[in-house]
Amino acid sequence: MSTFASALYAVSAPVLEISLLNALQLVLVIVAVGAFALLFKPLLVGIARAMVLVVRPKLSREERLARQQMREAQALKRTLGKMDGVSPSNAAELRALSTRA
């Protein structure tokens, strides 16, 4: 017998010693866990969402509005910076619009 064949037999010997009953039990456990997960999926998803909210709470309406206004102001500043060298009159008009907002 060659060295490769004996090494293959030595590695696969523990795998071949699994009885049919043990394999059947393993399959049944996997099926039971899958059925449990499928049956309680809404509950598990709710628990996961609650855990996420504990770690990172949802922002209040005022905080969301403040963030949106900050993003809009930053976008306007970027636009002003780009327009300043290209068209000073348009940049001045944008500045006037930004002071009203």
- Among 65, 86, 81, 85, which Cα is nearest to 95's? 81
Q: What is the structure's pLDDT at 16?
A: 57
Q: Which residue has the tokens 């504990």?
A: 54
22-38 tens-digit pLDDT: 889 999 999 999 999 99
Query: Residue 1's pLDDT band (boundaries 50, 70, 90)?
Result: low
> Mean pLDDT over residues 32-57, rounded?
94
Tell me which residue range forms the domain holding 6. Answer: 1-58
The verdict on 54 and 76 lying in the same domain is: no
The verdict on 64 and 89 lying in the same domain is: yes
The verdict on 54 and 66 lying in the same domain is: no
Top pLDDT among 35 and 92 is at 35
- What residues contact residue 67 under an 8 Å CB cut-off, 6+ apart? 59
Top pLDDT among 2 and 41 is at 41
